[in-house]
């Protein structure tokens, strides 16, 4: 029996928690981004910026907000990498299953 499907299953079991962590990090950063924007808009308001559009502009231009966006990009990249690695492992198992089903069919036909 080939070890490939067993290695794929082990990979899935090992990687699933990493994927879950990457996804939770991404979701947290997405939600925190909203809070950070509100805090930055509040700071702009305290500095005398009157209009919401100007407060929003200041918030989006803030270095901390820009840094947060870079963190979000890294979190999405990590999540997507793990997602596709897990998908590839699942596909390896499906290919193995198909190959074995084909081999069983050929064995029956040739017997």
Residue 47 DSSP symbol? T
Residue 106 has a pLDDT of 86
Convert the pLDDT of each residue in 5-33 to its tens digit: 899 999 999 999 999 999 999 999 999 99
Model confidence pLDDT, tens digit, residues 35-75: 999 999 999 999 999 999 999 999 999 999 999 999 999 99
- CB atoms under 10 Å from CB of 55, counted, come to 20
**Strand, helix or coil for residue 48:** coil
pTM: 0.80
CA gyration radius, the chain: 24
User: For residue range 56-66, what is the model confidence (pLDDT) as tens digits?
Assistant: 999 999 999 99
Q: In 3D, which of 26, 23, 4, 15 has the Cα closest to residue 87?
A: 15
Q: Which two tokens stand for residue 34?
A: 């909203």
CA–CA distance, 29 with 42 (Å, rounded to integer): 19
């Amino acid at each position: 029996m080939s070890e490939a499907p067993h290695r794929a299953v082990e990979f899935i079991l090992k990687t699933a928690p990493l994927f879950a962590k990457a996804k939770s990090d991404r979701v947290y950063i997405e939600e925190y981004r909203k809070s950070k924007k509100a805090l930055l808009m509040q700071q702009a308001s305290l500095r005398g910026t009157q209009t919401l559009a100007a407060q929003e502009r200041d918030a989006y231009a803030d270095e901390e907000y820009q840094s947060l966006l870079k963190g979000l990009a890294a979190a999405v990249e990590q999540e997507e990498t793990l997602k596709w690695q897990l998908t590839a492992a699942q596909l390896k198992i499906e290919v193995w299953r198909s190959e074995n089903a084909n081999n069983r069919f050929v064995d029956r036909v040739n017997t």
